[in-house]
Structure formats: C-alpha cells, structure tokens
Amino acid sequence: MAGGRCGPQLTALLAAWVAAVAATAGPEQAALPAEQSRVQPMTASNWTLVMEGEWMLKFYAPWCPSCQQTDSEWETFAKNGEMLQISVGKVDVIQEPGLSGRFFVTTLPAFFHAKDGIFRRYRGPGIFEDLQNYILEKKWQSVEPLTGWKSPASLTMSGMAGLFSISGKIWHLHNYFTVTLGIPAWCSYVFFVIATLVFGLFMGLVLVVISECFYVPLPRHLSERSEQNGRSEEAHRAEQLQDAEEEKDDSNEEENKDSLVDDEEEKEDLGDEDEAEEEEEDDNLAAGVDEERSEANDQGPPGEDSVTREEVEPEEAEEGISEKPCPADTEVVEDSLRQRKSQHADKGL
C-alpha cells in the first residue's frame, strides 16, 4: 500500500524538477546572442572606408529574389574574410539610393571589388567558391578599373549620388502619401508637378537677384556713348559694304569695256588681214595682165621671115595666133580690178 502511494508522488516530484530546470535554463539560452554577421552594412556616412584596403561590396534590395539566393553565400564569404585578408560589405539600395547612384547600379545584385580606392565591377556568380578564387588568384587584375568620371570618388559620380538620393526621398514621400495617408496616386503626382513648378520659379528668382547684386549698371552718359559708338560702327560697316559693292561694279564695267575693245581690235586685225590678202590677189592679177601685155608687144607685126615660116609651117602659125591674148579678155580683167578697188574704198569709208 505504501509503495503504491509513493510511486505517483515520485513521478510528480520528477516532473516538477524537470519543469524547474527548464524554466531556469530557458532564460539563459534566450540570453545567448545569435551568431553575429561578419558583413558590414555600408551607408552614405561610412562608405569612404572602402577607399583603404581591399573590399568586396554587394548591392541588394530586400524584395529581390536573386539577392536573397546569394545571402548565405555572401555570409560564408564574409566569415572567411580574415583568412582572405579582405573586408566584406553590403549596401541596401532602398535605404541608400545615393550609394547606388554613386556606383551607378542598374542591375541587382551587383558586386564591386575595391583595392586602395580603385574600383572594379565583379560580374561572376555570387557563389563562395568563385568569390574566393577571384581574391586568391587575383583575377581582379585582369578587369578594367573604373577610372576617370566613372570612378565612385569622382565629382561626376558625387553629383549622380545627389540626384539618386533626391529621387529616393521623393519616392519615400510618395509612399507616405499613398500608403500611410491613403491619398490617391494622381493627387500625389499633381502635388509633385506643382512643387516642381514652384521650385523652378523660386530658383529663377534667386538667380535674378544674384545677377542684380553682382551686375553694376553703367552710368547714363556712358550707356548713351556706347549706343552712339555702336550706331557709328554699324554705319561705318554699311559704308564699307557699299564701297565694296561699288568697286565690284566698277571693276566689272572696266572688264566689260576691255573685252569690247579687245573684240573690236580683233575684228580690225581680221579686216586688215583680209584687205592685205585681197591686195596681194589684185597685185598678182595686175602682174599677170602686165606680163600678157608685154608678151603681146614683144611679138610685133609679122615680117618676111614670119611669112615664110607660115608658108613652111602653117600649123605652128595657127597655134601661135590662137595663143595671143584677146583684147576683150584684157578689158574684162581691168573691169574686175576696178570693181575690187571700189569695194576696198567703200570698206575703208
């Protein structure tokens, strides 16, 4: 009987002891911190740390599935950072839009390697083995660095960071209007349009005020003199242009006159050559006529010798008679000579 009663009591005591031990052990286990991440979050205030030493940066977004797939690999890579002598960081583009603009991030996830302020884009997979080989084998040396205006430390990228940060603030403000306050999206768009116009007008007013402060107007008499000088210069230029046009016209007229004179001289030279040729022809004709006349005079009246010759050789005498020039032919030649001389006289007039 006594043993049957002690059994349930012992079990109850054991159960109470186990519960007590569990209650005391629970707070101790809860007090133990979770394993700390070795990945250092980078912000706009501490991003300059990557300018010294060797770093690997990852740009991600919480809503990006590809970024979530590489989180475990990136944590493993960060745990081995001490062995690889490299620091590992990450940038949330939603919280830090300025850094995404400074590095000109257009795709997610994006990886960058930095060595003493020289940045390179890592385009391999975000797997621990590939990342480890990239550092150990120094594959980054074969990658073209981001130099000049593309460097995140340049003035151009600083301006880009400012633009991205402004766009991020506008996006957060739009979400506050539409999600928190429940305002329709079109009302938010109208607000931003009006704000843009007002801001543009305000900046224009500021520029006008600044120009008025730094611009010193000239006295009235100086301004009048400057206007007069400008008018006189314009008039002088107009006179110069007019004189140049007149000179061109005069030169053209002189050229035309010279060409006309040359044409007339050429015509006169041609006429003189024609007259010389005609005179030579006339002289040749006159010489021919004179020769014919002299031959006719030299033959004279026939004597006794000629009679005997005619009797002996009648055929030769008949041929000699036929060869003598006819007086009618000589008159025709003289008439033609007279006509040509009269034509030359008319041309000379």
Question: Which sequence positions are flagged as catalytic?
Answer: 64, 67
Question: Which two three-digit tokens encode residue 35?
Answer: 């394993």
Helix residue ranges, H only, the chain: 2-31, 65-69, 71-79, 81-84, 97-102, 128-136, 155-175, 185-214, 220-299, 304-312, 314-323, 327-348
**What is the edge-to-edge ordering of all strands in the sheet holding 87-92?**
40-41, 87-92, 54-60, 110-115, 118-122
Task: Please state, in angstroms and as integers, the Cα–Cα distance from residue 348 to each residue in 197, 336, 341, following that order.
Answer: 94, 19, 11
Do 126 and 111 touch, CB atoms closer than 8 A? yes
Query: What would the two tokens of residue 305 be?
Result: 């010798």
Q: How far apart are CA 245 and CA 211, in angstroms?
A: 44
β-pairing, 110-115 with 87-92?
unpaired
Segments of 95-156 assigned E as strands: 110-115, 118-122
3-class secondary structure, 138? coil
Q: Which amino acid is at 303?
A: G
156, with CB counted inside 10 A (0-12, 13-18, 19+), is middle
Inter-axis angle of helices 314-323 and 304-312, to 10 degrees? 120
Contacts of 131 by beta carbon, 8 Å cutoff, 6+ apart: 56, 73, 77, 122, 124
